[in-house]
Structure 1
Amino acid sequence: MKKYFLYIAAVVSSFAFTSCLKEDLNESIGELNAMASVYVVRAAYNQADVSLGKASLAGAYRTAGIVIANGSSGNFPEGHIIIQDEWRGLMRGLTLVSDKATAASLAVGDSVVVELEGATLTRNGGTSLAVRGLAASAIKKISSGHEVKIRPINITELSKNFEKYENTVVSITADVTPFPVQQKFAGEHTLTDGGDTTIPLYTAAEAVFANETIAPSAAFVGIPVTGDGRKQLRLRNLTDMQFASGPIYAGYPEDFENPDAAQKASYAGKDVALRTGTWRLEQCLLGNTTGRDRIVSGKQSIRFQQNLGTSSPCYLQMNYDVPSGAAKVTFWYGCYYTDAASSFVLEASTDKGTTWKQVGNVISDPEKTSVSIAAKQAVFMMDIDGSVRFRIRKLPLGTTAIPTIENGRLGIDDFAIYQNY
């Protein structure tokens, strides 16, 4: 019996504790704001150590954030506490170098305030940006139990903008290469997601999960850090390896970069020879409008038509099979520009497209670019043996009439299929 599951790596809200760093006076007390966001603290670093405090932070001497790691798993240095904080939609992270007892007293999800006066902001020894010289009393827990925001990204985005993601929690759906045959986590493994770049996954020998077996492919939820001058991803515990599957099929993800968008610039149904095979684009086209189409990699993505009813089927469909079943399908999605949301499903066929069966649940939460310029990632788990093909079908809800009907244009990119194992 085939089993179908759906996971949407959605943006989970976190507790944004800090306020912005104000340059003007607080008129009620005549003093500068004491609190600087983690973003502002990081911005004070310019390739040289910085003595933190009022002089370097325009009058501020504190920061705050949510604890995302405390070193308890053994995969981060003893006494290191990592916090992240979101300010004006900008998530940033920071390592606080303290002592073992202080780190052990904090848990993931705790909100903390940090007294920075006299501490040093440094990358000493080619490590992640860290605050050193903190007294144990400088880190104060305010409350507990806050959700930690996890940002799904691909390896190309991480490589291009590593500073944005360093010391924050990200989720990367990737393969381990070369294919791991009952290999353990301990040491360094290379992660690839089909793009042009890779990222090392590092696990210390002292980590509590170092001797556990690593899956060929998974959503690896970890913290990008810098160690000995090298960029790497580190997990916090074994449960940070999620949605394990076989490896991605060769040639995937389908990135919709070929042919040129001009070859499919209208919504009318047409079979198109893409890089992975021939697909049917019915009421969808190849879009390349920067800032509007949901382009995750390259310069093109898929754009679905809006306001269609039952008389106008709307889908993106493989006209070929992959041979070795499927354990997982992933892709990225979002509203086209500021259009209304829409609803769609993933469907699978094991009889060469004669019949189709829905996989998982309906997805109805695409976000406008005005809400988030970053697309969301959908991750579908399944257990399908033998030949199979897939399609994304947009539901025929009719003309948008907010708040009862939302049926705007939809963007899709980087469609990936993972083998069963």
Structure 2
Amino acid sequence: MKKIYVYLAALSIICLAGCKKHDYAEGTLSPIIAVVDVKALYKGSDVTLNADNLSGAKEIVGVVISNAASGNSPAGILVVQNNRRNAIRGIALDIGAAAAGYAPGDSVMVQVTGATLTKVNGSMRLKGLAEGAITKLASNKAITVQAVPSGRIIASPDVYESTLVTISSAIAEPEPQPGETYAGNKTINDGFGRVVLHTETAASFSAAQLPFSANFTGIPFTNITAADTSIQLWPRTIDDMFALAVIKPSPVIVAGYLTDPTGGDANQEYIQLMATRDIDFAVTNFSIVTCNNAGTNPAPANGWAVGAARSYKINLTSGTVKKGQFFYVGGNKNIWGAGSTDISAANWISSTQYSTVDGAGFGTATANLLANSGNVAGIAVFAGITVDASTVPLDLIMYGGSGTVYAPGPPEIGYRITNTDYYSTINPVTRENQAFYGGGTNKTKLTLPATGNFSQLGGVYDAITGRWTTGRTVTSIPLTKTSALTVIEVGTGFTSVQN
């Protein structure tokens, strides 16, 4: 034991000597601080930045995202964005006329010691920067653009203000009149909230025609005044707007689903849908396809038509439904499994014994039409009863976990998407085509349903424009064996159709 103690002691001495020799025990604080850390210093009142509150740092680095030359940037403001500590943040620098000397993509270093962190109309900025505080390091650097739903910006303005974002698949409200331009404040709505699109009269693109629907890119600023409380999105040039083609409305939309009834799932799961126009299914056929990707699976080359245990098709070829009316597709007509309330009085377009009957064209009999755990699953609506690898759905939702359901190829394979409240066939950032779930920005999935609950998809669909004026969100509705049909059909926030 003595020999061991002597050895450890000697080893400790060697380590200490080595550390001292190479200065391993001594650290040098970085002179650079992340914007996210600078902004965190603001606690409701002005803060003068110094070595103490900057933890020894004295400068920030970033890329210029504002464009003073276009005329649509707050006067005297230079906006810089960086991505440090895995956080994309931006800050507005109040530097007066000098802001005109910088262009988007300029890489800069900013000495911030002595500057004041403040808010103007609710939007954070740095003022009182010393003359010569900004050093240009390079030009034409890449700028990161985030695709962000408006609701997220509204909920967390300090996170997204002074960064470059795209609000995708938004519409102007009200619909622009012929000859209406960008100039002034225009309301845009992507289905998850409304923000103000702000264009100065002197902006180079102020006289351009305002599109009805577009992906709108710009810099968000909070605007709190006596007359207004809003998030304003300031586009930089006309190229920040990407007009979208008119979307053809879907006659059928997904409104809810039950994935985990009490007792066994076989023939007890169902999907709630809504018609956006009057439909006679004997005249105009549709089909519903569900996908279940349990286990580790490759991306399906045949997409929704993969069949076997992964997808199941139900044809809708009889019955009628009125515009704005719910209807149902699934197994037995009970609200929450065997022995629960009989809801056969509801409008059932298809009641299929899916645990013993194969799908219509593809899909083997299954005890689980709808996954209630595991990898990502989905529900899609199709026009007609022919579905193959190239068929594009009218509406869809995806929910659940992850799993391998997309391969970029070439050729790309997976589950095709369409333009909905959650998915877009045009990448809002790169403006390239993206046709599959999992590709580009099409990665949104709803949460797995809570055990035994009905998943209600509340939202408002415009049957004329084909847009969701209020995007679908999931509300879990607890059910019992005696729950009434009204529990899943009536209430604030339920899916509705407007025109």
Give the TM interval when normalised to the shorter protein.
0.5 to 0.7
Give 1:281's aligned residue: 289
Q: How does 1:397-408 map to 2 (within 5 A)?
A: none
Percent pairwise identity:
25
Among residues 196, 205, 209, which one is paired with 1:209 in the alignment?
Answer: 205
Kindly indicate whether the alpha-carbon contact (under 8 Å) linking 1:336 and 1:411 is maintained by their aligned counterparts in 2: no
Q: How does 1:34-183 map to 2 (within 5 A)?
A: 34-100=31-97, 102-124=98-120, 126-173=121-168, 174-182=170-178, 183=180
Deviation of 1:133 (Å): 0.9
User: In the alignment, is residue 186 of structure 1 matched against residue 236 of structure 2?
Assistant: no
User: Aligned partner of 1:214: which letter?
Assistant: L
- Cα deviation 1:281-319 (Å, max 9, x = unaligned): 33249xxxxxxxxxxxxxxxxx99944675536474324
Kindly indicate whether the alpha-carbon contact (under 8 Å) linking 1:341 and 1:364 is maintained by their aligned counterparts in 2: yes
Deviation of 1:239 (Å): 0.7
DSSP-derived class of the 1:379 partner: coil
Kindly indicate whether the alpha-carbon contact (under 8 Å) linking 2:35 and 2:91 is maintained by their aligned counterparts in 1: yes
Pair 1:62–1:205, CA change in 2 (3 A): same
Q: How many residues align?
A: 320
Kindly indicate whether the alpha-carbon contact (under 8 Å) linking 1:269 and 1:280 is maintained by their aligned counterparts in 2: no
The structure that is strand-richer by fraction is 1
Instruction: Find the aligned partners of 2:413 and 2:94 in 1 and give their Cα distance.
Output: 42
Deviation of 1:221 (Å): 0.8
Deviation of 1:245 (Å): 3.0
- Cα deviation 1:182-206 (Å, max 9, x = unaligned): 31101111111223x3111111112
Kindly indicate whether the alpha-carbon contact (under 8 Å) linking 2:51 and 2:113 is maintained by their aligned counterparts in 1: yes
DSSP-derived class of the 2:163 partner: coil
Instruction: Find the aligned partners of 1:269 and 1:239 in 2 and give their Cα distance.
Output: 51
Among residues 200, 214, 217, which one is paired with 1:221 in the alignment?
Answer: 217
DSSP-derived class of the 1:245 partner: coil
Among residues 259, 270, 275, which one is paired with 2:257 in the alignment?
Answer: 259
Among residues 412, 424, 432, which one is paired with 1:362 in the alignment?
Answer: 412
Kindly indicate whether the alpha-carbon contact (under 8 Å) linking 1:272 and 1:280 is maintained by their aligned counterparts in 2: no
Instruction: Find the aligned partners of 1:63 and 1:180 in 2 and give their Cα distance.
Output: 42
Deviation of 1:29 (Å): 7.3
Kindly indicate whether the alpha-carbon contact (under 8 Å) linking 1:269 and 1:283 is maintained by their aligned counterparts in 2: no
Structure ranking higher on relative contact order (CA contacts 8 Å, 6+ apart): 1
Instruction: Find the aligned partners of 2:141 and 2:250 in 1 and give their Cα distance.
Output: 40
Give 1:198's aligned residue: 194
Instruction: Find the aligned partners of 2:237 and 2:295 in 1 and give their Cα distance.
Output: 39
Instruction: Find the aligned partners of 2:413 and 2:139 in 1 and give their Cα distance.
Output: 32
Instruction: Find the aligned partners of 1:112 and 1:273 in 2 and give their Cα distance.
Output: 54
Instruction: Answer with 1 or 2: which has the greater Rg.
Output: 2
DSSP-derived class of the 2:257 partner: coil
Among residues 319, 343, 353, which one is paired with 2:407 in the alignment?
Answer: 343
Q: Given the two structures, how large is their TM-score scaled by the length of structure 2?
A: 0.54
Give 1:245's aligned residue: 245
Pair 1:149–1:260, CA change in 2 (3 A): farther
Deviation of 1:275 (Å): 4.4
| Unmatched 5+ stretches in structure 2 | 1-22, 277-285, 312-377, 385-393, 416-421, 428-434, 447-456, 468-499
| Unmatched 5+ stretches in structure 1 | 1-25, 286-302, 322-328, 346-359, 366-375, 382-391, 396-409
Deviation of 1:377 (Å): 5.6
